[in-house]
């Protein structure tokens, strides 16, 4: 597997500073989180694109993109929200094409209201991601569908439900295991990984205490990293282990701590592309 990190780590910074910060740790696989300033799809300037391409060449970087997510929901019962989600997801696909990125991460969504049935939310998600998936296929970009939604608004009742969501997408669509979301969904992240192999293409690695989506450094929460990394090693998994932690006070320490956990459990994982 390859180890990377998300620019979520530097959420308050501009995207170029964020990429530079991660590349400075020797990581070459980087998730560009499209909620950072200057990176909202459809608004990215040619100068910004040029800076990102220059950084990619200089450090030998491989980018994947994470669609905007804060006000979007592919599983919404509101057709207007789903339509806007499709617009911004497709703009992210176009941005990926411009940056030569192969993978774009999308959420599976959540119930927009407690009264919505889980089966209906799942059907809305399928409908939205089917359309986005066709656009991805036409651009030669691969969609990675992430497990999202937890607590009373979650609609994934078991890990297998995510397989149902992607059944509506093109055959090359990958699955993305977000470890923190899995914990909040009441799932065992290692069991999710086992269930989703061989379509599991990427992991968003971060920790929490089982109550909130804190994106803590690995080892600061309840996740059993030894078990998950042992499975990935045993399966000779070749996907991307993307560290997606956030610590406004000390991002460098959060990344270093997380890398130490991976290296402590792993067997000489590659940090490069
Ligand atoms: Zn996400």
In this prediction, residue 132 has a pLDDT band, given cuts at 50, 70 and 90, of: very high
CA of 36 to the centre of ligand 1 (A): 13
Report whether pLDDT(273) > 70.
no
Expressed in angstroms and rounded, the spacing between residue 16 Cα and the centre of ligand 1 is 20
Q: Ligand 1 mean position to 204 CA, how many Å?
A: 8
Residue 189 Cα to ligand 1 middle (Å)? 15
Kindly give the distance from the C-alpha atom of residue 95 to the centroid of ligand 1, in angstroms, as a whole number.
Answer: 17
The tens digit of pLDDT for each residue in 148-183 reads 999 999 999 999 999 999 999 999 999 999 999 999
What the chain holds in terms of domains, given with CATH numbers, is 2-265 (3.20.20.150)
The DSSP secondary structure of 140-158, one letter per residue, reads T-EEEEE----GGG----S
DSSP structure class, residue 42: T
Place of tokens 């180890």: 3
Buried b (16+ CB within 10 A) or exposed e, 218-239: bebbebebeebbebbeeeebeb
Determine the average pLDDT of the residues in 235-240: 96
Q: 66 CA to middle of ligand 1, Å?
A: 7
The pTM of the full predicted model, rounded to 2 decimals, is 0.95
Is the Cβ–Cβ distance between 254 and 247 less than 8 Å?
yes
Could you tell me where the beta strands, DSSP code E, fall in 67-215?
Answer: 103-107, 142-146, 174-178, 200-205
109 CA to centre of ligand 1 in angstroms: 10
CA of 105 to the centre of ligand 1 (A): 7
CA nearest 184: which of 160, 161, 159, 209? 209
Looking at residue 270, its pLDDT comes to: 56
């Amino acid at each position: 597997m390859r180890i990377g990190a998300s620019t979520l780590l530097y959420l308050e910074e501009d995207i170029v500073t964020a990429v530079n910060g991660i590349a400075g740790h020797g990581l070459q696989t980087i998730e560009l989180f499209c909620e950072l300033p200057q990176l909202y799809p459809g608004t990215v300037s040619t100068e910004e694109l040029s800076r990102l391409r220059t950084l990619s060449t200089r450090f030998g970087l491989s980018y994947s993109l994470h669609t905007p997510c804060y006000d979007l929901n592919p599983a919404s019962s509101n057709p207007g929200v789903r339509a806007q989600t499709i617009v911004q997801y497709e703009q992210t696909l176009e941005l990926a094409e411009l940056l030569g990125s192969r993978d774009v991460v999308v959420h599976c969504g959540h119930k927009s209201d407690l009264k919505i049935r889980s089966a209906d939310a799942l059907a809305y998600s399928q409908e939205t991601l089917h359309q986005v998936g066709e656009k991805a296929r036409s651009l030669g970009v691969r969609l990675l569908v992430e497990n999202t939604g937890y607590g009373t608004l979650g609609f994934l009742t078991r890990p297998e439900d995510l397989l149902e969501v992607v059944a509506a997408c093109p055959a090359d669509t990958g699955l993305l295991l977000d470890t923190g979301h899995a914990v909040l969904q009441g799932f065992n992240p290692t069991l999710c990984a086992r269930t989703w192999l061989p379509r599991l293409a990427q992991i968003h690695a971060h920790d929490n205490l089982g109550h909130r989506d804190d994106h803590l450094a690995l080892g600061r929460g309840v996740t059993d990293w030894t078990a998950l990394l042992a499975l990935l090693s045993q399966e000779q998994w070749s996907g991307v282990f993307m560290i997606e932690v956030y610590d406004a006070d000390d991002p460098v320490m959060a990344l270093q701590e997380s890398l130490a956990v991976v290296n402590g459990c792993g067997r000489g994982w590659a940090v490069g592309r």
